[in-house]
Amino acid sequence: MILALETSCDDTCAAVVTDDGRVLSNVISSQEVHDAYGGVVPEIASRQHLQLMNVVIDDALTRAGVTLDDIRAIAVTRGPGLVGALLIGMATAKSIAVARGLPLIPVDHLQGHIAANFLAPDPLEPPFVCLVASGGHTFLARVDDHRSFTVLGRTLDDAAGEALDKGARLLGLPFPGGPHIERLAAAGDPGAFAFPLAHGVPGLDMSFAGLKTALLYTVRDLDAVEGAGGAAARAADLAAAYQHAVVEQLTRRVARALDEAGLDQLAIGGGVAANGLLRARLTQLAPTIHIPERALCTDNAAMIASAARHLPPASPETVPGLDAYATDRAGSLAQGTPS
């Protein structure tokens, strides 16, 4: 069994997963303290991880019905993410590994999102195309084996979830905005406004920053018309058109990726995978579409354990000096196992 820790952003996570990919526990403690600020505050995230980490680990072991004596390896997210947040998970994982004489397996967070698809009871076997769209990252990968991936395209600016969150803020909706936009959009007309689809971005890369600016100007223009009720009166139409633009851009890139890769298996991950419109559109594209259950799509430690099942441990003498990394450097991203 593997005990995995994940603290790359604002969720304090621990999970116990068997070597054959069964999730015995998957504890996610979300730090709602950030909601009041409209986004994650890094210093607060680190402090919260520090307070929650041991409690969350105890909970994961208890729920799995095991003790540390049953664990054969510790896995931990090394990056990309907020460095201060990652370091809490890494310091904890190192301490347990050294104290118990267990191997430590460092895992790339993005490889984790992909490896969520390898978990029982319904593992997806490579090759497949994977879209990961969350508040922190948005990329398309080609997956040919269990330990690495090749990036086919990525957002050049905001992540898709970040675009939804920022759009929601402009519409006066709470953080995180994705689910609120989806709810409001249900009563709106997606054709009411034509928001940009980033046609100018070449290949399989994506861009969402222009979309947010377009919404800002549209809201401003609507509010400038006296007596018409302003943007608030058109909130449902704005949400529907905005959601449509995000989903349409993602769908078109996925369609092209499947076509160019010559593959018909598609997996989706990240918080935006919860979006009903996106699911419906992507289901039309691929004969096999794999969407892990929600708790495995958003940030969690079971996906980190899943990735660790296929990765080598760090050599013991390097464990104390092992550092976190903040950004997804192209090389590390492509390999999944950065040095």
Between CA 139 and CA 332 the distance in angstroms is: 14
- Give the contact letters, 171-200, x = binds to ligand KG4 (CB under 6 A), - = no: -----xxxx--x------------------
CB of 301 to ligand KG4, least distance (A): 13
Helices and strands in the chain, H and E counts: 11, 10
Residue 9 interacts with ligand KG4 (CB under 6 A): yes or no = yes
CB nearer to Zn ion: pick between 218 and 332: 332
- With b for 16 or more beta-carbon neighbours within 10 A and e for fewer, the 263-272 pattern comes to bebbbbbbbb
For 203, the 3-state DSSP assignment is coil
Binding to Zn ion (CB under 5 A) within 45-84 occurs at: none
Residue 155 binds to Zn ion (criterion: CB under 5 A) = no
Q: CA triplet 244, 278, 110: central angle to 5 degrees? A: 120
Task: Provide the 10 A C-beta neighbour count for residue 209.
Answer: 15
Classify 209 as helix, strand or coil.
helix
CB of 165 to ligand KG4, least distance (A): 5
Is 328 a binder of ligand KG4 (CB under 6 A)? no
Judged by CB under 6 A, which of 136, 167, 188, 336 binds ligand KG4?
A: 136
Q: Choose the stretch contacting ligand KG4; rule: CB under 6 A; options: 53-61, 161-169, 184-192, 331-339.
A: 161-169
Give every strand in the sheet of 2-6, ordered side by side.
23-30, 11-17, 2-6, 73-79, 104-108
**Residue 81's closest CA among 123, 30, 135, 34?**
135
* Residues 283, 287, 292: CA angle, nearest 5 degrees: 60
Decide if residue 164 touches ligand KG4 (CB under 6 A): yes
Residue 246 CA to chain centroid, in angstroms? 16
Provide the residue type at 87 as one letter. Answer: L
The answer to whether 134 contacts Zn ion (rule: CB under 5 A) is yes
Binding segment for ligand KG4 among 64-72, 143-151, 160-168, 321-329 (CB under 6 A)? 160-168
Interacting partner of 292 out of ligand KG4, Zn ion, none (Cβ under 5 to 8 A depending on kind): none
Choice from 26, 299, 304, 309 touching ligand KG4 (CB under 6 A): 299
Q: Which residues bind ligand KG4 (CB under 6 A)?
A: 9, 134-136, 161-162, 164-165, 176-179, 182, 270-272, 274-275, 298-299
Q: Which residues bind Zn ion (CB under 5 A)?
A: 134, 299
